[in-house]
């Protein structure tokens, strides 16, 4: 029996569920290219304004940042979403992180003290990684900003030998009962679309991220390309950069991978 069903989300133009694919993000790109070439579809599909989501039961080459791989066995929520917005939003990944956090807390309020947003793009349960978020941005010829969001959420997939080295955690294992993946997809997508007006008020969701910020007031290291900064994490600035106390108070960091020292 296939537990998945087409989701009734009014904001979405298409929702595609696959048993297996290499990566939902790559699949979404292939579908978009296909439609843009004029292979079927209506005007919105060809213009790239089509709001599309692709979910897979398993991914064979799930993507992380740069060359990172996202391990995606059956049981997790592996979902990509394509959404076009009229202006550039530098902190888009924090917007998505805040939506995911709110959606999960809405379902499990008891997680409040343990579920945290890791700048810029993960959700942590205690000190373990529950969810990864991958954002890709591009500009369309019409001047719109296309945001592709990949969400990898460990729901029912057990933390076996393949995930153990990454200090991953699975929500179902943590809660103690299996979770309905389709329902989580629904709740998360609704949270993202219902809050879209906040994209013009980034101080609101950044203040939310600061409230639930992972490693706040702890000593962290941020590694980006060939540079590394160490210091006490003070918070996220209103522009989305990270505020780190390292010698000079309040140094702004724009990108990098954060780890505890
Ligand atoms: P950053 O903080 O910069 O995003 P990252 O190390 O968290 O860096 P990502 O690209 O977000 O990197 O995620 C990919 C990484 O997450 C992998 O390199 C691996 O360490 C870990 N990982 C892979 N699959 C999973 C999973 N299912 N659950 C938790 N962690 C995973």
User: Does some domain include residue 8?
Assistant: no
User: Does some domain include residue 121?
Assistant: yes
Is residue 142 predicted with pLDDT exceeding 80? yes
Token pair of 90 as six digits = 């530098």
User: Does some domain include residue 62?
Assistant: yes
168 and 247 both lie in a single domain: no
User: Does some domain include residue 3?
Assistant: no
Tokens 């004029």, residue located: 38
User: Does some domain include residue 1?
Assistant: no
Give the residue, by CA position, lying nearest to ligand 1 atom 13.
Answer: 64
143 and 241 both lie in a single domain: no
Does ligand 1 lie within 6 Å of residue 70's CB atom?
yes
- Ligand 1: atom nearest CA of 168 is 29
Does ligand 1 lie within 6 Å of residue 119's CB atom?
no
Q: What's the confidence (pLDDT) of residue 250?
A: 74
Q: What's the confidence (pLDDT) of residue 259?
A: 94
224 and 205 both lie in a single domain: no
| pLDDT classification of 1: cutoffs 50, 70, 90 | very low
DSSP 101-158: HHHHHHH-GGGTTTEEEETTTEEEETTEEEEEEEEEEEE-TTS-EEEEEEEEE-SSS-
Query: Using CA atoms, how far apart are residues 186 and 169, in angstroms rounded to an integer?
Result: 21
User: Does some domain include residue 87?
Assistant: yes
> Ligand 1, from 68, 79, 163, 174: best to mutate by most atoms within 8 Å of Cβ?
68
List, for residues 77-114, the tens digit of each pLDDT value. 999 999 999 999 999 999 999 999 999 999 999 999 99
137 and 241 both lie in a single domain: no
Query: Using CA atoms, how far apart are residues 138 and 154, in angstroms rounded to an integer?
Result: 28
Q: What's the confidence (pLDDT) of residue 4?
A: 45
Domains held by the chain: number: 2
Does ligand 1 lie within 6 Å of residue 150's CB atom?
no
Q: How far is the CA of 63 from the centre of ligand 1 (A)?
A: 9
pTM of model > 0.75 = yes
- Give me the domain span that covers residue 159: 14-211
Is residue 7 predicted with pLDDT exceeding 90? no
138 and 180 both lie in a single domain: yes
Please give the mean pLDDT across all residues of the chain: 91
Is residue 221 predicted with pLDDT exceeding 80? yes
175 and 100 both lie in a single domain: yes
Is residue 3 predicted with pLDDT exceeding 50? no
User: Does some domain include residue 81?
Assistant: yes
Higher-confidence residue: 250 or 125?
A: 125
Query: Using CA atoms, how far apart are residues 175 and 185, in angstroms rounded to an integer?
Result: 18
Does ligand 1 lie within 6 Å of residue 128's CB atom?
no
Q: State how far the alpha carbon of 5 is from the alpha carbons of 31, 114, 182, in Å.
A: 20, 31, 7
Query: Using CA atoms, how far apart are residues 126 and 169, in angstroms rounded to an integer?
Result: 9
203 and 224 both lie in a single domain: no
| pLDDT classification of 136: cutoffs 50, 70, 90 | very high
Q: What's the confidence (pLDDT) of residue 121?
A: 86
Q: Which helix (H) or strand (E) holds 178?
A: none
User: Does some domain include residue 23?
Assistant: yes
Is residue 217 predicted with pLDDT exceeding 70? yes
- Ligand 1: atom nearest CA of 72 is 27
Does ligand 1 lie within 6 Å of residue 64's CB atom?
yes
Q: What's the confidence (pLDDT) of residue 215?
A: 97
Section 228-237 average pLDDT: 94
Section 193-219 average pLDDT: 96
> Ligand 1, from 129, 134, 227: best to mutate by most atoms within 8 Å of Cβ?
129
Section 143-162 average pLDDT: 95
Give the SS3 label for residue 175: helix
Give the residue, by CA position, lying nearest to ligand 1 atom 29.
Answer: 168
Section 196-225 average pLDDT: 95
28 and 86 both lie in a single domain: yes
207 and 83 both lie in a single domain: yes
Q: What's the confidence (pLDDT) of residue 173?
A: 95
CATH number at residue 102: 3.30.930.10
List, for residues 18-72, the tens digit of each pLDDT value. 999 999 999 999 998 887 776 666 666 656 678 899 999 999 999 998 889 999 9
Does ligand 1 lie within 6 Å of residue 59's CB atom?
no
Section 167-193 average pLDDT: 95
CATH number at residue 227: 2.30.30
Could you say which of 173, 191, 211 is where a domain stops? Answer: 211
203 and 223 both lie in a single domain: no
Whether 184 contacts 110, CB under 8 Å: no
Strand partners, 260: 220
227 and 126 both lie in a single domain: no
204 and 235 both lie in a single domain: no
């Amino acid at each position: 029996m296939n537990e998945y069903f087409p989701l009734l989300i009014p904001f979405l133009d298409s929702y595609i569920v696959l048993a297996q694919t290499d990566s939902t993000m790559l699949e979404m790109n292939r579908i978009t290219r296909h439609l843009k070439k004029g292979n079927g579809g209506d005007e919105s599909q060809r213009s790239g304004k089509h709001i599309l989501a692709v979910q897979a039961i398993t991914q064979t080459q799930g993507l992380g940042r740069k060359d990172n791989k996202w391990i995606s066995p059956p049981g997790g929520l592996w979902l990509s979403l394509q959404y076009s917005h009229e202006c550039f939003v530098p902190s888009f990944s924090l917007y998505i992180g805040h939506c995911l956090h709110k959606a999960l807390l809405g379902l499990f309020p008891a997680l409040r003290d343990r579920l945290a947003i890791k700048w810029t793009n993960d959700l942590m349960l205690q000190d373990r990684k529950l969810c990864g978020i991958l954002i890709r941005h591009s500009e369309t010829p019409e001047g719109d900003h296309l945001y592709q969001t990949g969400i990898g959420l460990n729901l029912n997939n057990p933390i076996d030998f393949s995930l153990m080295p990454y200090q991953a955690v699975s929500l179902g294992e943590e809660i103690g009962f299996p979770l309905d993946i389709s329902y989580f997809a629904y709740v998360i997508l609704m949270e993202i679309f219902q809050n879209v007006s906040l994209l013009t008020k980034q101080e609101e969701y950044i203040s939310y991220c600061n409230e639930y910020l992972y490693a706040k007031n702890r000593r962290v290291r941020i590694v980006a390309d060939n540079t590394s900064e160490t210091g006490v994490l003070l918070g996220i600035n209103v522009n989305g950069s990270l505020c780190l106390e390292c010698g000079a108070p309040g140094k702004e960091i724009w990108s990098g991978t954060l780890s505890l020292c």
